[in-house]
Amino acid sequence: MNWITNYVRPRINSIFSRRETPDNLWTKCESCGTMLFHRELSDNLNVCTNCNHHMAITPRERFHALFDGGIFTEVAVPQPVADPLHFRDQKKYPDRLRTAQKDTGETEAMLVASGEIGRTPIIAAGQDFSFMGGSMGMYVGNAIIAAAEEAVKLHRPLILFSAAGGARMQEGILSLMQMPRTTVAVQMLKEAGLPYIVVLTHPTTGGVTASYAMLGDVHIAEPNALICFAGPRVIEQTIREKLPEGFQRAEYLLDHGMLDRVTPRTEMRDELITITRMMMGLPPAVKGELPAPELDAQDGAAPGGNEEPKT
Amino acid sequence: MTQYLDFEKPLAEIEGKAEELRAIARASEEEMDVSQEAEALDKKASALLADLYKSLTPWRKCQVARHPDRPHCKDYISALFTEYTPLAGDRNFADDHAVMGGLARFEDRPVVVIGHEKGDDTKSRIERNFGMARPEGYRKAIRLMDLADRFGLPVIALVDTPGAYPGKGAEERGQSEAIARSTEKCLQLRVPMVSLIIGEGGSGGAVAFATANRVAMLEHSIYSVISPEGCASILWKDSEKMREAAEALRLTAQDLQKLGVIDRIVPEPLGGAHRNRTATLDAARDAIGKLLDELVDQPPEDLMANRRRKFLDMGRGGLAA
């Protein structure tokens, strides 16, 4: 009996059970085809219990599992000008945005949070692939800048989970300008002497890889994640030959010196705690059961981070 | 012999006729006076040229920006700089011929110049990989920028690339990392940096050279997150919709100035840079000189801080900026 089983787990379960509707109690693994019970799957962080295939996970779900007791505070992100180019393809950009907001329940493709992991204060930023392919536009740029500023202000490391198809075409050149903008954010951290750890998840491609995702102090990837600048299809069309199995996957990048580690999602939290504590010069994390933290010490954070974001 | 673009076909006909007329007159035994007719045709042609270029659509600008006869990086280097001393290699793997660079003097002032070179005939195009750099190209640029920084030399970058090369080896050797580090290096410089987009500013491959204190574009050059063809095939599911995509992407110098992404437009001669190279190169020299003059007196720390501030503030106002 401890505070996690008494207090946190029911909370987490209630959050997940609220989301589940009776008709999707089972998920079929895209890789091995095993039918997985939703609770079992979410307990295992959306990793197939049969074949270890890593399925997509939203930043909110990830943060619930990452932060101590699932407790975090959202960091406010300044809203950019909506539809800066008045972009219209077959659909209007604001319509695409609204659809994505309705489908995901999120405002945009990145969530920034502050909290503790293994009693280590951190700032985390998570990119949401389910929101327009996680694409990097003004909002994502603002989110990374806000995350870096918060990290510098509170003197905490930044852990960023990347997942994106690349730049958001509907913001044209302004999406491209997020490459230098986010690079400035990374420089703020480096100059403040704070660790910047990038966890590259499936998929991380295009302008995202070619800016903040490849500028970390430590690069960790989830198994089999696609990580590249140009996608495999574009390359096959250019060089007119079939690419080898596993090309541009996490293990391939590890072999080619672009990553420090490939770590399963279920072991990621412990690894991040170990690494950040060493980089911040803190003593080793206490293993085993911990007494419940005092909620007051958490900047008034509420469980689940559903409280109004701090400004 | 001018290479005509598809929308210049009527112009090609008129200019062809005038040429033909003169050829007949030259070939005929008797004295033939065709000057009046030929001049009338010339006049008609230049009126048509002015009309065509008065308001180019974004897609036509893409075509002009990619015109094979457009002056390329090496033309600018030989016209605008003296004592150009190319420096090669990334000290790591190879020398990428898609990227040129080295020490040179611009109006007597020693600088470091870098740029993408597309090549101008089949042989040189292949050697230059059509201006599509590999990681070693970006790493060479990083090395040269670093050199500039240590010796207090301004950096002048000439941007002209369809994009970074999407190849197997390029990916294996860390194309993304090389581009990210090049952008990072631009932002770390404590010396003035001026970038001029002379043709195509293709996505991340361009940003890596264009994260500068001042960014200028030639009047008919383009700068975009993705090619119109690529955008059309993703969003319209039809690469033939490149005209619509070019329109929507706002990739022209004029739109980018409105968005506050670039600082200056360098005028091109009537009919595009390729119709009068000397005038183009003169205008480029003038613009680079003026932009550099704005920066040379700034203290090193300010140059870096202002460059960062410029990019942090970018896009805050959208099209209303």
The interface predicted TM-score (ipTM) is 0.93
Residue-wise pLDDT for A132-143, tens only, equals 999 999 999 999
B161-177 per-residue burial string, b: 16 or more CB within 10 A, e: under 16: bbbbbbbbebbbbbbbb
Give the integer Cα–Cα distance in Å for B156 and B204: 18
Does any domain span residue A118? yes
Count of structural domains, chain A: 2
- For residue A83, report the phi and psi dihedrals to the nearest 5 degrees: 45, 65
Same structural domain, A94 and A215: yes
Q: Residue A184: which pLDDT band, with cuts at 50, 70 and 90?
A: very high
At which of A55, A71, A104 does a domain end?
A: A55
For residue A255, give the CATH number of its domain. Answer: 3.90.226.10
Helix (H) or strand (E) segment spanning residue B126:
helix B122-127
In B196-255, the residues whose Cβ lies within 8 Å of chain A are: 203-204, 207-208, 211, 223-226, 231, 234-236, 244-245, 248-251
Does any domain span residue A108? yes
Same structural domain, A234 and A109: yes
Q: Residue A76: is it exposed, middle or buried by C-beta count within 10 angstroms (0-12/13-18/19+)?
A: middle
pTM of the model: 0.89
Q: According to the model, what pLDDT value does residue B12 have?
A: 92
Same structural domain, A103 and A46: no
Q: Residue A50: which pLDDT band, with cuts at 50, 70 and 90?
A: very high
Q: Residue A296: is it exposed, middle or buried by C-beta count within 10 angstroms (0-12/13-18/19+)?
A: exposed
Residue-wise pLDDT for B21-47, tens only, equals 888 888 877 777 778 888 889 899 999
- Nearest of A71, A44, A51 to residue A60 by alpha carbon: A71
In B158-187, the residues whose Cβ lies within 8 Å of chain A are: 164-168, 170-177, 179-181, 183-184, 186-187
- Is pLDDT above 50 for A27? yes
Interface test with B, best of A179, A238, A254 (most B CBs within 10 A): A179
| Domain residue limits, chain B | 7-52, 67-320
- Is pLDDT above 80 for A14? no
- Is pLDDT above 90 for A71? yes
Please name the amino acid found at residue A201: T
Pick the CATH number of B67-320 from 1.10.260.40, 3.40.50.300, 1.10.3720.10, 3.90.226.10: 3.90.226.10
- Is pLDDT above 60 for A298? no
User: Which residue ranges of chain B lie beneath pLDDT 70?
Assistant: 1, 320-321
Q: According to the model, what pLDDT value does residue A8 have?
A: 65
Closest residue, chain B, to A96 (C-alpha):
B235
Does any domain span residue A19? no
First-to-final CA distance of chain B: 42
Same structural domain, A108 and A35: no
Same structural domain, A36 and A165: no
Give the integer Cα–Cα distance in Å for B211 and A176: 11
Residues B250, A187: C-beta atoms closer than 8 Å: no
Q: Residue A308: which pLDDT band, with cuts at 50, 70 and 90?
A: very low
Q: Is A228 annotated as a binding residue?
A: no
Give the integer Cα–Cα distance in Å for B65 and B239: 19
| Residue A42 structural domain | 26-55
Q: Is A48 annotated as a binding residue?
A: yes
Does any domain span residue A136? yes
Q: Residue B42: is it exposed, middle or buried by C-beta count within 10 angstroms (0-12/13-18/19+)?
A: middle
Same structural domain, A199 and A270: yes
Give the integer Cα–Cα distance in Å for B187 and B181: 10
Q: What is the mean pLDDT of residues A293-311?
A: 48
